[in-house]
Amino acid sequence: MSIANLGNTLVIANPASHSGRGKACAEKVARFFEWCSSATTSFKLVQTTGPGDAEYLAGDSLGYDTVIALGGDGVIHEVVNGLMKISGYRRPRLGLVAVGSGNDFARTLGLPQNDTDASIHQLLTGKERIMDLGYVTADGSRFGTYFTETLSFGIDAAIALDTTTRRQAGDSQHGSKLYLTSGLKLFSKVREPYRCTMSIDGGGQIQLNSLILTVQNGPTYGGGFAICPQAAFDDGVLDVCYNVRQPCLPHVLLLFALARFGKHVSSSVVRLTQARTLELSFEDSEQVPCQIDGEELLGKSFSIKIVPSALRVIVL
């Protein structure tokens, strides 16, 4: 059954998202809810001014029925981590107005991307689903971070972080094209893999020379690259993709191109599996590149797990 009324509603908007288009989108959403008073019981729009704002605002949203994240995957990541600070039965549901470069989480949920009118319609006619989240702690810390879509290590993480740097510098490319050009640049510089020990669901240690090691709660990242094509946000497991051999550079570039459409999975170079928990330890003296929903995460050892049925979210 569709959600007839969003209740007490908080919109957390990143005005800088999608090269500044988030500001106009936020104003449009505000005008709609002011005009269509029957859509909510109450409505408040708050715009972020810097990193961490969205997480703080979402963490302080007790008493709201719905919190809408307006922006790209970064602001969604912050909002989700804020919501998870509120106890389960009092936690607001999550709604999305996806206005970003990659929009991989919206893609996973089958939601509109960079289309304000369609997003508003989806919020008012959508249904509530229960979704899982990933959770990671680094270097034995007692405090961890939730992720909605992706956690990756090695060269693919370096690519994701490079796209973030380029967007912040005003690069005009976005989505899969941005990820593709960063990938071609960084893969051409690959020399040595990262030595890693991995344990899945408490099993024995697996020794890896890792170029690609991705843990997914949804099928894509990088603006639509289908790294784990069968991953689902509500199946109670994380999907893992990693290399089991180190291919030559031409083969690496071919696999990268095939990953755009999930065709890399048939290669003997990569392996896909599912896990409820993972333990990773990198042996190199330097920090391994690591990204979580497009943001940098520092560490050399990581404990990762699925958090089933963590959050209510509005989908089509």
Cα distance between residue 116 and residue 191, in whole Å: 43
Three-class SS of 172-194 = CCCHHHHHHHHHHHHHCCCCCCE
Predicted pLDDT at 184:
72
Chain center to CA of 242: 18
% of residues, the chain, pLDDT over 90: 72
> What is the overall mean pLDDT for the chain?
91
Among 11-20, 156-165, 202-211, 302-311, the range scoring the smallest mean pLDDT is: 156-165
pLDDT of 109 over the 60 cut: yes
Digit-coded pLDDT (tens) for 224-265: 899 999 999 999 999 999 999 887 777 777 888 888 899 999
Three-class SS of 208-255 = EEECEEEEECCCCECCCECCCCCCCCCCCCEEEEEECCCCCHHHHHHH
Predicted pLDDT at 285:
65
% of residues, the chain, pLDDT over 70: 94
Max Cα distance, the chain (Å): 60
Give the architecture-level CATH label for domain 135-308: Sandwich (2.60)
Task: Assign domain 8-125 to its CATH superfamily.
Answer: Probable inorganic polyphosphate/atp-NAD kinase; domain 1 (3.40.50.10330)
pLDDT of 175 over the 70 cut: no
pLDDT of 312 over the 90 cut: yes
Predicted pLDDT at 92:
98
- Taking the alpha carbons of 153, 155, 157, 158 in that order, is the dihedral positive or negative? positive
| Structure tokens, 185 | 């640049």
* Overall average pLDDT of the 95-104 stretch: 94
* Overall average pLDDT of the 308-316 stretch: 96
Cα distance between residue 91 and residue 186, in whole Å: 41
Cα distance between residue 152 and residue 240, in whole Å: 9
Digit-coded pLDDT (tens) for 1-27: 577 799 999 999 999 998 888 999 999
Q: Give the Å distances, CA to CA, from 66 to 10, 40, 93, 108, 157.
A: 6, 9, 5, 20, 32
Q: Where are the domains of the chain?
A: 8-125, 135-308
Digit-coded pLDDT (tens) for 283-297: 876 788 999 998 999
**Cβ–Cβ under 8 Å, residues 97 and 127:** no
Digit-coded pLDDT (tens) for 26-81: 999 999 999 999 999 999 999 999 999 999 999 999 999 999 999 999 999 999 99
Cα distance between residue 58 and residue 91, in whole Å: 10
DSSP code, position 28: H
